Chain A
Amino acid sequence: MGYIELNVLNAPATTPSTLALGIDLGTTNSLAAIWKDGRPVVLHPEGKSGLVPSVIHFPPDGMPIVGREARDHAVADPRHVIFSIKRFMGRGLADMRPELASLPYQASESDNGLIQLEVQGRKYTPEQLSALILMRVHDLACRALGGQDVRKCVITVPAYFDDTQRQATRDAARLAGLEVLRIVNEPTAASLAYGLDQRDKGNVAVFDLGGGTFDVTVLTIEDSVFRVLSTAGDTHLGGDDFDQLLAGLARAELGPLYGDELLGDPGFQQAIRLGAEQCKIALTNDPEAELRVVIPAKRISWRRRIEREEFEALCAPLVERTISACRQALSDAKLEPGEIDEVVLVGGATRMPCVRERVQRFFGRKPHTELNPDEVVALGAAVQANILMGGRRDMLLMDVTPLSLGVETMGGAVSKIIQRNSTIPCEATEGFTTYVDNQTGLDFHIVQGERELAHDCRSLGRFQLKGIPPMPAGMARVAVKFHIDADGVLTVGAKELGTGKSAVVEIQPMHGLTDAEVERMLKEGFAHAREDFDQRRAADLKIEIGTMVRATESNLNAGRAGLDRESVHDLEEAMEHAKQACSGSDLKALQKARDEFERATLPLAALLMNNVAQKALMGRKLGDV
């Protein structure tokens, strides 16, 4: 069941000002899509894939490179290539300790508890690094849109992302110069892409195993409203972990051969990582594959055959973890596996046959795999972007908050204020009072999670209430309102009610990037990154125009006779315009000149193609044709 067009005739025509991108900012790959002619389409520049590997390379001097080219440097320059930055979003150093041990770069903690990675002598927050990926995705998307600069977007996050991780994602987009209309949960977005609103009624389970995170979401469709009932998952379980199983196997066998010291070498580690990933992918289609670790510079080439059965035995515990989360989600939704009408698979890692089989067995139903699991989230984000831009009002998405929100009480226990799986936006008010005479401030600690004790939950920060009017202990009545918005992000507001004056109490968050910090980062250097990207694009275009000019000049004389005068004139004029555009660096002018030049070369290209084809045919014997 692909996406089916709905009500296109009634929808208002999409004009440029109503465009917004749907962006999937993934652990392994990132991608943009847009709503076009009544359906979501993936954006990719002509002849190129739109899928951007979420990898960044920092050359010794020069601008960071994002995507496929960056990944190609992984083995040769491992200390300057960053993978899977999404795993660091909104996390502190302590959260990441186990993973940091195997990373070839230094990590430190900023004053406000945020992780920073040091590359080429500069420190970057995960937000800044993600911003670089977003800029690249945005750049490719705009090229695919013929140079139109669309800054509004919907960005997806794993459903199980907590408040801090969502805020970090929002900040990354701001740093990339994007305007975030909405943060949408990946599995929910996927259900939109599948056009399941065609059903009048039904229950859907979305199983989303991405590069680094796992989510399962149960939703029910009624009257074209997608209402999420529950979500469960693990922000540290994804395709990367399956690669690590093979990598572990390789390390165990390579250790005795090369010694632990060489094994600890970053280039070696990256080579193992890439070899493991390739082997996993090969095992999706083939019953056996080769696990290869190749480092040309060190003349190392190690191979080992792996049978799918052997790999699947290694994977079983990870797969069972996903099924446990499915059970939890169903239990929270108060449904049995048999009550699920549709199962949707999302994320590249769901290509693994053992994952598919296990999901099918658990739900007793063949899952949907019609849409490319790497694209479905971005497509869904584009559907949501269209709804937000006013494109349609016939369907609605009601999502939930994945984790309970609570306040730490005396003794370190958690008092829950908003339960997990509450429909968002949601709000709750909690009363606080003073315990000392004339106390004017109050601290409280907000956490997210299901555990009983605050220190087992995820801390969203300590908040301070200030400006409480002085009065005897216990007299102040401060009402603190917790609001989780449609992005799943928390805001806290407070009022003092005891005096009847409803004094507004000031609240200071103590975590994440403050607005001032985002501003500063935007001003410092990072604002230049956008210009840098523009410059790079302009440089690319100039090179491309140069190639086209040379090709045209060398072929025009031969082809002139076969073309009508008008075509020749148009071509010469367009070529002249393109050359002129190259003397400046106005991106828009370059793009336009290149496009017009290309159009003008079409008759010549067609003529040459014919000539070549004829020559090729003449050169052969009749029997060969």
Chain B
Amino acid sequence: MQRCPNCDAELESPLGCAACQRIFDPPEGLSPFELLGLPQAFALDEAHLRRRVLRLGRLVHPDFFGNAPAQERELAERNSARLNRAHELLADPVERANWFVTALGGPAENEQRSMPQAFLAEVLEWNELLEEARAAPAGSGLRERLEALASTLAAERARGLKSIAAHLAPLPERGSLLLRELRTQLNALRYVDRALSEIESLSLARASLR
């Protein structure tokens, strides 16, 4: 654990010191885990993460630097943005897994777009239903079928995340072939998330039509 150069208290995060309220300018390129002072592991307690972000937010938010010199105000802006970005990357398990795959030297999202073979057949069927719903949002029986699809997708998501979590603990070695497999699974999860959000917007659109 690092210590505060100002008051020598133990530092929870390189963004600032809770003991003396100083904020620092950490080097670029720190991982989101390092910025938040959390162990670098896929498994993460979401409530713990949220409380950590709120606590650090109280330390670095520009609101508390309204009277500070311009340079310090800008640093507060930057540190808050770094904090919020780190939170965003870690709060959602799909984003978190994505971060690990990229950070461990695996293929980026736009470098490998493949999805698991077994998944593709289902995707075709699901796309057909979504297409139909897009064309006629108030179509008969659509609501039930979309709701059924949403629960299938939610189950698929949970299953996929479990598999990814198992592959990420312990973390694979840098550049391991396993990362290609993880990217394929993540692509499937990205599809699931997009489809779920589309179902949600279709249901909102239907609610407004009524």
Contacts and interface: CB of A to CB of B under 8 A. Distances in A.
Interface in B43-57: 50-51, 54, 57
B96 interface: no
Given A320-B208, A426-B81, A331 B66 contact: no
Interface string A423-437: 111111000000000
Given A390-B66, A486-B63, A425 B54 contact: no
A445 interface: no
B210 to A, nearest CB: 9
A423 B87 contact: yes
A222 B67 CA distance: 26
Contacts of B67: 18, 388-390
A387 B208 contact: no
A559 to B, nearest CB: 51
Contacts of A387: 63-64, 66
B204 A331 contact: yes
Interface in B68-83: 77-78, 80-82
Contacts of A485: 62, 77
B88 interface: yes
A112 interface: no
Interface string A537-571: 00000000000000000000000000000000000
Given A388-B66, A483-B77, A422 B88 contact: yes
Contacts of B84: 422-426
B180 to A, nearest CB: 22
Bin the interface of chain A by size.
Answer: 20 to 34
A398 B57 contact: yes
A299 interface: no
A258 to B, nearest CB: 38
A331 B200 contact: yes
B58 interface: yes
Given A324-B204, A324-B208, A331-B204, A486 B80 contact: yes
A396 B58 contact: yes
A483 B63 contact: no
B157 interface: no
B207 interface: yes
B66 A396 contact: no
B66 A428 contact: no
Contacts of B208: 320, 324, 327
Please provide the 9 A-B residue pairs with the shortest distance between their CB atoms, ordered closest to farther. A388-B66, A427-B81, A425-B81, A324-B208, A423-B84, A425-B80, A486-B62, A426-B84, A225-B54
Given A222-B54, A320-B208, 15 more contacts: A227-B54, A387-B63, A387-B64, A388-B66, A388-B67, A390-B64, A390-B66, A396-B63, A397-B63, A398-B57, A424-B84, A425-B77, A426-B81, A427-B85, A485-B77
Interface of B: 50-51, 54, 57-58, 61-64, 66-67, 77-78, 80-82, 84-85, 87-88, 200, 204, 207-208
16 contacts: A225-B57, A324-B208, A384-B63, A387-B64, A388-B66, A388-B67, A393-B58, A396-B58, A398-B61, A422-B88, A423-B84, A424-B81, A427-B78, A427-B82, A428-B85, A485-B62
